[in-house]
Structure 1
C-alpha cells in the first residue's frame, strides 16, 4: 500500500507501532510482570490517577494511541533528514529514546504512581518501546518510498 502523504503515512505507522507495543504491554500487565499499562501513563497525565472505569480506560487508551501516532508523524518527517539507511536500527533508537525521555520526564516532574517502578515494568516498557520503533520503521518502509533499504 502506497500512502502519498507523509503526515498520514507517519500517523498510521505510529498507530501500527502503538498497537503492537500495547499488545506486548497488556500481555505483560495481565501476566503480572508489569505494574502499569501504557494507558495508565496516559490516564495519569489526563486524570492524575489510573482510570476508574471502563469509559476512562477506553479514553486513556485512545489518547495514548493518538500520542504514539503523533510520534510516528515526527519520525516520518525526521527519517529523510537523517537518511534512511539502517531504517530498523533508526526506528529502534527512536523508540528507545522516546521511552527514556518519557521516563526521565516522569522522574523530573515526580508524576505520582509512575515512580518508583519495578524491573518488570521497566523491562516491559523498554521492549514495548523497541517494538514500537521497529514496527514504525517497517510500516514506513512498506507504505512509502521514503525509506530505502
Structure 2
C-alpha cells in the first residue's frame, strides 16, 4: 500500500508539472524504469533466440538452483529481485549526475550501464554468483545492449523528474565554482598591519 501511495504521489507531481528534489526516490524510480525497459529488451532477445536467459533466471539463480526456476513462482521471485536490484542501482546514478551535471546525460548513462554490466553480469558469471550460466557470445552482447538501455532510460528519467535547482548543468556548476574562486578574500594580516600603522602615526603626533 505504501508503494502504491508513493507511486500515486509521483503521478500527481508529474501531472502538476512539479519536479522532485529528494535524491533517493528519484534514483529508485529512475532505476525501476530503466530495469523495466531493460527487461523488455531482454525478453525480445530471448524470444528471438538471440539470448539464452532472462534476468529473472539470472537473479533467481543467486538464491536457488536453476532447476527450481522451472517453477513460475520461483521465476517471479527472481524477477522481483532483479527489479529491486536495478532500482537501487539507480540511486548512485543520480549522485553521478548531480556531481558532474546533467550535460550529456545519455552518454553518462551509457557509461554507467556499461559499468553495471561489467560489475554485475561479467563478475557474476566469472565468480559463480549466478548458478545459471550463459555460454553464447550473442547472450553476452545482448546483455551489454540491455545494460546500455538501462543507462539511457534511467538517466533520462532522472533528468525528467529532477528539479533544475537540484541538478544543474555542468557548465553552471563550473561557473559557480569559478565565481567562488574569484571572490575577494579579506586579508586578516593586512587589517592588523593597518591597525598597527595607525597606532604608530598617533604616537608620532
- TM-score past 0.5 threshold: yes
TM-score w.r.t. structure 2 length?
A: 0.67
Distance 2:24 2:162 in 1: 11
Distance 1:139 1:29 in 2: 26
Any idea what SS the aligned residue of 2:132 has? coil
1:48 matched to which residue of 2? Answer: 65
The unaligned stretches of length 5 or more in structure 2 are 1-13, 171-205
Matches within 5 A, 1:45-124: 45-49=62-66, 51-110=69-128, 111-115=130-134, 117-124=135-142
RMSD between aligned alpha carbons?
1.7
Deviates further, 41-50 or 135-144: 41-50
2:28 matched to which residue of 1? Answer: 11
Deviation at 1:147, TM superposition (A): 5.6
Any idea what SS the aligned residue of 2:70 has? coil
CA contact (8 A) 1:14 1:136 kept: yes
CA contact (8 A) 1:20 1:131 kept: yes
CA contact (8 A) 1:87 1:147 kept: no
Any idea what SS the aligned residue of 1:20 has? helix
Distance 2:54 2:71 in 1: 15
Distance 1:148 1:40 in 2: 39
TM-score w.r.t. structure 1 length?
A: 0.90
Query: Aligned pair count?
Result: 148
The unaligned stretches of length 5 or more in structure 1 are none
